[in-house]
């Protein structure tokens, strides 16, 4: 396949995913989460090509990971300006009082607070900007690497939350769409290179990715022995297993309420982010 046909193949796949899951509806305003990495760069470019009239704003969260974030932010800025879209940049430090590198030097693990803060900031800024949905660049390999562990551990409820589209659970927990969920790392890397899109190939040095990369390698081996394993795994998860868990998930979703401190979605009286901030303040 020549480069041009390959790029068309990638775009058609996203078009099918958008249609199959009704990801973008009339009146939507998207918040595109732009990390500066290859996936979200491809995401923005493909959405702009397929749905040129959609209202969208991009958000980049500067995590403050030394040796990594300085490479990502300029790429997100360059891409947004090339695509002619608005980009908001916020610093995680302004929300949490610490950058991720500062967190990592105080606590051994910074990945789970970073993940929690990223989810919070996306919802917070998305609500503030009047977005109706958040679009992220999660791809097939990312999703399967996480699903693998959840299935092995039997944590089906957590697994069932991982979907191409997650719906409202609270007015400030915006629905999320993953338009790249049927494309692999390999396909997306080839796409951004063919299109010469700005992106940073840097990987976060703080650890989580190495575990995910090990799972990805394992799944790649299975795929090489059983072609289509990846797509079958995703379809089985979305179309066969998840519907069985629907009622259980719905009852869990009903338990969301508003955080007593900040009003954002919370399972308990105070949300994870406010609890994390208090914990950090106590030192
Ligand atoms: P990751 O969990 O790093 O694989 O990222 C998955 C998706 O989350 C990316 O494709 C982006 O859409 C979004 N994302 C991750 N990091 C950031 C960031 N620093 N700023 C904005 N969006 C992000
Ligand atoms: Zn809160």
**Which ligand number lies closest to the CA of residue 136?**
1
Q: Give the whole-angstrom CA distance, residue 175 versus residue 177.
A: 7
| Residue-level pLDDT at 92 | 96
Going by alpha carbons, the residue nearest to atom 14 of ligand 1 is 35
Average pLDDT over residues 114-136: 96
Choose one of 23, 32, 35, 179 to mutate for the ligand 1 pocket test, by most ligand atoms within 8 angstroms of C-beta.
35
How many whole angstroms from its chain centre is CA 75?
A: 17
CB of 35 shorter than 6 A to ligand 1: yes
First-to-last C-alpha distance (Å) of the chain:
57
Q: How confident is the model at residue 101 (pLDDT cuts 50, 70, 90)?
A: very high
Q: Are the C-beta atoms of 31 and 119 separated by less than 8 Å?
A: no
Mean pLDDT of the chain: 93
Does 205 score more than 70 pLDDT? yes
Distance 263 CA to ligand 1 centre (A): 24
Distance 156 CA to ligand 1 centre (A): 24
Which of these ranges, 117-121, 204-208, 265-269, has the smallest mean pLDDT? 204-208
Task: Tell me which residue has tokens 């891409």.
Answer: 79
Does 209 score more than 70 pLDDT? no
Distance 22 CA to ligand 2 centre (A): 31
Does 283 score more than 90 pLDDT? no
- pTM exceeds 0.75 for this model: yes
Does 254 score more than 80 pLDDT? no
Going by alpha carbons, the residue nearest to atom 15 of ligand 1 is 35
Choose one of 129, 137, 201 to mutate for the ligand 1 pocket test, by most ligand atoms within 8 angstroms of C-beta.
137
Q: Give the whole-angstrom CA distance, residue 68 versus residue 105.
A: 15
Strand 133-135 and strand 29-33: pairing? Answer: parallel
Does 208 score more than 70 pLDDT? no
């Amino acid at each position: 396949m020549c480069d041009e046909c390959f790029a068309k193949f990638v775009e058609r796949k996203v078009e099918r995913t958008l249609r199959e899951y009704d990801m973008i509806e009339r009146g939507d305003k998207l918040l595109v989460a732009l990390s500066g990495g290859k996936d979200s760069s491809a995401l923005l470019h493909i959405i702009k090509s397929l749905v040129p009239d959609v209202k969208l704003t991009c958000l980049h969260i500067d995590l403050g990971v030394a040796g990594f974030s300085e490479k990502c932010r300029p790429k997100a800025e360059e891409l947004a300006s090339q695509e002619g879209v608005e980009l908001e940049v916020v610093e995680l430090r302004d929300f949490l009082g610490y950058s991720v590198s500062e967190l990592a030097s105080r606590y051994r693990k910074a990945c789970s607070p970073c993940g929690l803060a990223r989810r919070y900031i996306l919802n917070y800024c998305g609500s503030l900007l009047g977005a109706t949905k958040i679009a992220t660049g999660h791809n097939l390999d990312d999703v399967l690497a996480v699903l693998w562990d959840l299935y092995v551990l039997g944590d089906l409820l957590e697994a069932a939350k991982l979907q191409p589209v997650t719906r409202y659970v609270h007015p400030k927990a915006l629905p999320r769409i993953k338009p790249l969920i049927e494309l692999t790392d390999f396909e997306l890397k080839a796409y951004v290179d063919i299109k010469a899109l700005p992106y940073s190939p840097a990987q976060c040095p703080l650890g989580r990715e190495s575990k995910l990369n090990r799972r990805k390698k394992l799944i790649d081996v299975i795929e090489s022995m059983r072609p289509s394993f990846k797509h079958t795994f995703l379809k089985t998860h979305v179309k066969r297993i998840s519907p069985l868990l629907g009622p259980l998930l719905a009852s869990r979703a009903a338990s969301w309420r508003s955080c007593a401190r900040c009003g954002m979605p919370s399972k308990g009286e105070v949300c994870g982010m406010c609890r994390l901030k208090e914990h950090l303040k106590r030192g």
